[in-house]
Structure 1
Amino acid sequence: MSNSLQAKEKQELAASGEQIKPGPVFIPAADIFETDKAIVLLADIPGVKTKDLNIDLRDNTLTLEGEIMPFEGADESAVLTEYNVGKYFRQFTLSEVIDQSKIDAKLTDGVLRLTLPKVGKATPRKIAVTAG
């Protein structure tokens, strides 16, 4: 795999007193594939809806943040809950070969697919010289 996309090292989470919303933070599992034209990142974020997903790109750092909201049924109270609610958080460092203006994101069945196109290579061309 090339150096186009690199996962950041693990960092200690902020103390619980600094969090705005308490609760667990999950690291989404990710698979990264490379083609001649793009890097494709697949991240598992089951339970996260599109409206609860934030993808941010700043200073060559791609940040994925999502939140699993608790189920709220009309006139229902929980008897047993095994499905965890909380946040997803993961960061990746992008290299210069990624065309950051053309990144595409799709969320389907709990899998986020990010397509990160590579910058086109400069094509050789002849430059005409005019007399001045």
Structure 2
Amino acid sequence: MTDQMTHTPETVEKTPAQAPETMAGGRIYQPLTDIVETDEGVTLMLEMPGVSAEDVDVTLEKRVLTVRGKIEGTHPEKLQLAYAEYGEGDYERAFTLSDDFDPDKIGASVSHGVLTVTLPRTAEAQPKKIAVTGS
């Protein structure tokens, strides 16, 4: 099988097709996420291409951090899509947090299709350095 594909407009299917759908018929994807842990806290980096800061919603309720991103379609108006490998849709992902994080200091920013969420630890949860003395 080669990578060359021929499709008629009647047989066009989007891939991947294994994502849940919204009430409006759009897909919902779980963004790929990198998690970095430091002594100060945790940083989440979620891939959300095409989502602007205005279209991101980050909420914390009962220790569950939920991230949602809305995307507008990017298909040109007067062109008919013959084949698509890039699936478009909204993003949603949830994380259950421990009590170690300070909910008042959580921050989020979007840059180049990546949402970065910083979760600082509370002062009580941060590691403490114990001084060692010699005799």
TM-aligned CA deviation for residue 50 of structure 1: 1.4
Structure (1 or 2) with the greater strand fraction: 1
1:97 Cα shift? 0.4
**Residue 38 of structure 1 pairs with residue 44 of structure 2:** no
Alignment of 1:1-132 (within 5 A): 19-71=22-74, 76-80=77-81, 82=84, 83-121=86-124
What TM-score do the two structures reach when normalised by structure 2?
A: 0.69
Q: For 1:68, what is the secondary structure of its paired residue?
A: coil
Aligned-pair CA distance for 1:65: 0.7
Deviation per residue, 1:43-91 (Å, 9 max, x gap): 1011111121111111100001112211376xx4123363432111100
Unaligned runs of 5+ in 1: 1-12, 123-132
Secondary structure at 1:114 match in 2: strand
Q: Measure the CA separation in 1 of the matches of 2:124 and 2:30.
A: 34
Give how far 1:108 is off: 0.4
AA in 2 matched with 1:55? V
Q: Which stretch of the first structure deviates more once superposed, 43-52 or 107-116?
A: 43-52
Unaligned stretches of 5+ residues in structure 2:
1-18, 126-135
Deviation at 1:94, TM superposition (A): 0.7
